[in-house]
Amino acid sequence: MPLVDALGRRFVYLRLSVEDACGYRCRYCLPHGYKKEEAEPPLALPEIRRLLSACAGLGMWKVRLTGGEPTLRPDLAAIAAAAAATPGVRRVALSTNGRRLAGLIPALSAAGVSAVNVSVDSLDRARFAEIVGRDELAYVLAGVDAARAAGMTVQVNAVLMKGVNDGEVAAFADFAAARGVEVRFIELMPTAGNADFFAARHMKAESLAARLLAEGWVEEPRAEADGPARRFRRPGVPGALGLIAPYAKDFCASCNRLRVTSRGRLRLCLFSEGESSLRDLLQRDEDRAALQERLRALLGLKEPSHYLPEGRVGDNRTFARIGG
């Protein structure tokens, strides 16, 4: 039986963090750099295999490997291959900052990764360096182009920040058209650690949606496993622009994903208040049924929505820590 919650939402999409470390210092996530907080090691490959098997057995067919920065993990290609080889998994994707991506594309492609999301918060070299703390835009764009050349589906993610990169929408649209990729703007989200930055830089993604429609962009129907993302195209023009607008009405109505941290803890929402460990049931193949039952039981606790409009951001201190 598939994973369905009390509201009838079906969960087919697993976002699995494999590493919470990251070498960038993005202003909205890790402005002071990564600091190790966990003594417990990340999930080992056998634990990951058991998790994937249990989730796929519950109808979860899309797997995204995230971080932190997943490319810092030496066995990333082996993890991707394990995901692709899991019966029931149809799509394996990767979210990355792109710094090391170009050199890893051959191994990742051979392992079965078919889609990558690359964070590119600015196409201006100096602005990019200011946002992430490193002058490495050229490396990141090389990763985007290497993924395209390998035939992967490529999506570029840009966190929308007022007074920082909100003037680059047209440049990103041209970038999307030139490379035939989707650029997805993600509304800046609050965490317990970025309150001041959020207050100064937050802008509603819905205002950008209205602008795109006024400029002749056409919104497409959501595809399977898309979740709450909205996608816009210009007729006859390659590429697309997408929006993730967590403050929009009914944003959570199409939620279809569960998150598991690099230490094997289930988070029912990016903004959950607390998480539940699965690791004790990832040690033996014989515990697969018990793990599935725990997943079902925990899903019964999932809230209808996050509580961002009420100012509740959960216990997430950084997005890197929880595989945002």
Instruction: Give the position of tokens 């050199």.
Output: 103
At residue 313 the predicted structure's pLDDT band, cuts being 50, 70 and 90, is low
pLDDT at 248: 78
pLDDT at 36: 85
Computed over every residue of the chain, the mean pLDDT equals: 92
At residue 124 the predicted structure's pLDDT band, cuts being 50, 70 and 90, is very high
The pLDDT tens digits for 35-57 are: 888 889 999 999 999 999 999 99
pLDDT at 51: 98
The C-alpha atoms of residue 267 and residue 188 are separated, in whole angstroms, by 20
Residue 241 pLDDT > 70: yes
Given a contact cutoff of 8 angstroms between Cβ atoms, the answer to whether 59 and 2 are in contact is: yes
Q: What is the mean pLDDT of residues 294-313?
A: 83
The C-alpha atoms of residue 42 and residue 272 are separated, in whole angstroms, by 20
The C-alpha atoms of residue 123 and residue 98 are separated, in whole angstroms, by 14
**Which structural domains are found in the chain, ordered by start?**
13-322 (3.20.20.70)
The pLDDT tens digits for 269-281 are: 887 888 999 999 9
pLDDT at 42: 95
Residue 10 pLDDT > 90: yes
The C-alpha atoms of residue 88 and residue 178 are separated, in whole angstroms, by 35
| Among 60-74, 158-172, 199-213, the least confident range | 199-213
Q: What is the mean pLDDT of residues 244-268?
A: 88
The predicted model scores a pTM of 0.94
Q: Which residues contact 284 (CB under 8 A, 6 or more apart)?
A: 50
Backbone phi, psi, residue 288, to 5°: -60, -45
Q: Which residues contact 32 (CB under 8 A, 6 or more apart)?
A: 25
The pLDDT tens digits for 140-162 are: 999 999 999 999 999 999 999 99
Q: What is the mean pLDDT of residues 193-212?
A: 90
pLDDT at 18: 97
The pLDDT tens digits for 218-240 are: 999 887 667 788 999 999 999 99
Q: Which residues contact 15 (CB under 8 A, 6 or more apart)?
A: 64, 66, 257, 258, 259, 260, 323
